[in-house]
Amino acid sequence: MKSKPGLHQLRKDLAGMRQKSAFPPVFVLNVYYSGMGIARNLHGMGIPVYGLSSEDDAPGMTSRFFEKIYKVPNGRDEPNALCHKLLEIRNEHDDAPVIFPTRDFDVLFLNEYRNELDGFYRLPENEAVNRILDKLELANIAERQDISVPATVTCRTVGEIENAARNLRFPFVIKPRFAYQWRVGKAWELVGARKAILAQSLDELMQEYHKIIAVNPEVLIQEYVSGEETDIVVCCCYMGRDGELLAQFTARKLRQSPPMFGTGCAVEAADIPEIVPLAARLLRSCGYTGLAEVEFKHDKVTGKFYLIEVNPRHWDQHELGTLVGVNLTWMAYTDMIGNTISPQVPIYKGRACRWIAEPEALMLVLRNAYSEVKNIRKQPRLRLGARLRAYVKTLRAAFAESMFLLRGHKVFATFNRRDPLPGFTLCIRAIRDMVGVLRTRELAKN
């Protein structure tokens, strides 16, 4: 069996680098799905990878792919303390570590403390990050580049909301202008743990806005692009310093949790060539260098791909690229230590290649099944035989959905046969949580 072109070149690059010098270490900010994927992508290459975590129960805390986990303050809540801690642990390493962010908060932290950390750490490029994280500015840039984007406005008052309702077409999607605005303090609870909110009418829009005011009076309103979850597609890529697209693979979401505006819990690699030049043009016009995930939604009526957002960092599903011969983490590492990057080309032939977040995917299947069971119970006139057939149909549908998600070649967010402890820990935690839910319901009944 022949090696994939990208992976073959990667092995050659590795051999050449080993002859030159030892590899600088990598520090990963937060050891959730994105962080674990980084450690896996670099495993076996002789690169020491260290995790930085503010939480004791993060999935990657038990991963053997991390040389060590440093307990650090949360950059969202205590950025100054995190900076001091990073400077302190830097003394344990001879060479300046590469540092990878995995959240928007991490990106902002590295930008804010660049002067303090630069020279001690190898940091990602930052000049274009603020333009990309600002959803309004990103939409404006996309429009100037003739890239389709939903009609977008920002509102800070009830009057501006009413004006938007007169000039745009319902349904609307309500978002924060900067994603992190809804993740600060108790904001996430106040918005119902939703990344975005769909409003079908002015009444719904007003009801939701009055809840959001307590979080931040400024909101972004966009016209909703119709379609299914499978119409959401992504271009995952690496932009070189000269504006050249050095690597990319494309994928589509199969399932999101929660539905509509959640995070992809099942994503499949797919050849979608139409979005590659759009993503490259957008990032180039922003002056962006480095890793990025550019998300679009395909409108089947118009045939257009509408820009949704850009993640200028590692994201949960980036490890999917290794199944089609593209290791974006390796490219970022190579670039950040000053070595020449060899382009990588994806290969989509063969069986389906999927990334699965097992806890979220399982809960999605169970929630759908539970919803069907509740609907059956609400039909008191249903005869016993018909009721039993309905229950069996629901079980079969849940089983079929599970088999569909598990089809093909897979990489799981947590489970890994080379690193079994995080998966085992996840199982224990899931059983504990389920027992806790059952106990709570029993107490509520009594």
pLDDT digits (tens, 9 = 90+) for 42-63: 999 999 999 999 998 888 999 9
Q: Is 319 within the bounds of a domain?
A: yes
Residue 11 pLDDT exceeds 80: no
* Listed residue (431, 232, 322, 402) closest to 36, CA to CA: 322
Whole-structure pTM value = 0.89
Residue whose tokens read 């957008």: 282
pLDDT, residue 6, reads 56
Query: 54 with 175, same domain?
Result: no
363 lies in the same domain as 348 = no
Q: Are residues 308 and 325 in the same domain?
A: yes
pLDDT at 213 over 90: no
Split into its structural domains, the chain has a count of 4
Residue 441 domain-assigned (yes or no): no
Q: Please check whether residue 143 lies inside any domain of the structure.
A: no
Q: Considering the domain boundaries, does residue 172 fall inside one? A: yes
Statement to judge: residues 333 and 370 lie in one domain: no
Using 50, 70 and 90 to split pLDDT, how confident is the model at 3? very low
Encode pLDDT of 147-198 as tens digits. 999 999 999 999 999 999 999 999 999 999 998 888 887 888 888 888 899 9
Query: Is residue 322 located within the same domain as residue 423?
Result: no
Per-residue pLDDT of 87-99, as tens digits, reads 999 999 999 999 9
What is the residue whose two structure tokens read 């690597």?
A: 247
Q: Which structure tokens are listed for 332?
A: 């970022």
Q: Are 316 and 253 in contact (CB under 8 A)?
A: no
| Residue 138 within any structural domain of the chain | no
CA dihedral 282, 286, 292, 296 (to 10 degrees): -30
Q: Residue 423 above 90 pLDDT?
A: no
Residues 30 and 110 in one domain: yes
Asked if residue 135 is part of any domain, the answer here is no
Pick the last residue of a domain from 327, 356, 385.
356
Q: Which of 30-34, 113-117, 177-181 is the least confident region?
A: 177-181
Rounded CA separation 355/364 (Å): 15
Domain limit, last residue, from 326, 356, 386? 356
Looking at the domain assignment, is residue 146 inside a domain? no
Distance CA 304, CA 302 (A): 5
Residue count of the chain: 446
Mean pLDDT of the chain: 89
The whole-number pLDDT of residue 426 equals 80
Phi, psi of 99 (to 5 degrees): -120, 130
Same domain (yes/no): 119, 163? no
Q: Which domain CATH number covers 290? A: 3.30.470.20
Same domain, yes or no, for 99 and 159?
Answer: no
pLDDT band at 252 (very low <50, low <70, confident <90, very high): very high
Are residue 232 and residue 350 in the same domain, yes or no? yes
**Is the separation of the CB atoms in 57 and 75 below 8 Å?**
no
When pLDDT is averaged across residues 79-85 and rounded to a whole number, the result is: 96
Q: What is the pLDDT of residue 291?
A: 95
% of residues, the chain, pLDDT over 70: 93
pLDDT > 70? residue 437: no
Domain boundary among 332, 356, 380: 356
**What does the pLDDT read at residue 139?**
96
Annotate 204-224 with DSSP letters as a single string.
HHHHHHHHHTTT-S-EEEEE-
Residues 332 and 236 in one domain: yes
| Residue that is written with structure tokens 């940091």 in the block | 123
- Asked if 156 and 244 sit in the same domain, the reply is no
What pLDDT is attached to residue 18? Answer: 45
Cα separation, 291 vs 286, in Å, equals 13
Domain shared by 182 and 110, yes or no = no
Residue 366 inside a domain? The answer is yes
Domain with 43 in it: 5-124
Q: What is the CATH number of the domain that holds 54?
A: 3.40.50.720
From the list 238, 257, 222, the residue with the least C-alpha distance to 139 is: 222
The whole-number pLDDT of residue 21 equals: 47
Q: What is the pLDDT of residues 224-240, one digit of tens each?
A: 999 999 999 999 999 99
